[in-house]
Amino acid sequence: MAEYQRSDIRVSDTEREDALGKLGQHMTEGRLTIDEYGDRTAKVAAAKTRGEVLTLFDDLPDPRPTFGRPSPPPATREPRTVSTAQKIAPVLIPIALVMAAVALTFALRVPIFFLLPFIFFLASGRGWGHGYRSGGPRR
């Protein structure tokens, strides 16, 4: 692990971003003034080696940059399981709607098949915002 902290290794952009984020955390916790934060972030942006970045954290507690060490994995979520009902609902709902329309047509003696396109539109999930991209008109 000694090679991770060698000060002559050149620093990457990702490592600079990590250091900037940690300096920001120290500022929000009150360890650095805005002026000190500005000075140190400018030095991080201009730093060429890990040693130059590490010297900016000499008087600060953790968190510090961890060069070359893998970051802890994000909290893993269990894969979403899809029930059988969720799998067959897109098929059964339109069939049920057609059957209901036929039944109502015979029960009321009024043809309501003219409502089927509207019902399919709603049942398909394309109505009222599901298929719309936010952020303005499409280009």
Residue 1: pLDDT band by 50, 70, 90 thresholds?
Answer: very low
Average pLDDT value for residue range 16-22: 93
**Interacting residues of 48 by C-beta distance below 8 A, sequence separation 6+:** 10, 11
Q: Where are the domains of the chain?
A: 2-57, 84-123
* Whether residue 3 has pLDDT greater than 60: no
Within 10 angstroms of residue 44's Cβ, the number of other Cβ atoms is 22
Rounded to whole angstroms, the Cα distance separating 9 from 137 reads 48
Q: What is the pLDDT of residues 79-112, one digit of tens each?
A: 677 777 777 777 777 777 778 777 877 777 766 6
Q: What is the pLDDT of residues 103-139, one digit of tens each?
A: 877 777 766 666 666 666 666 665 445 444 555 555 5
pTM here? 0.47
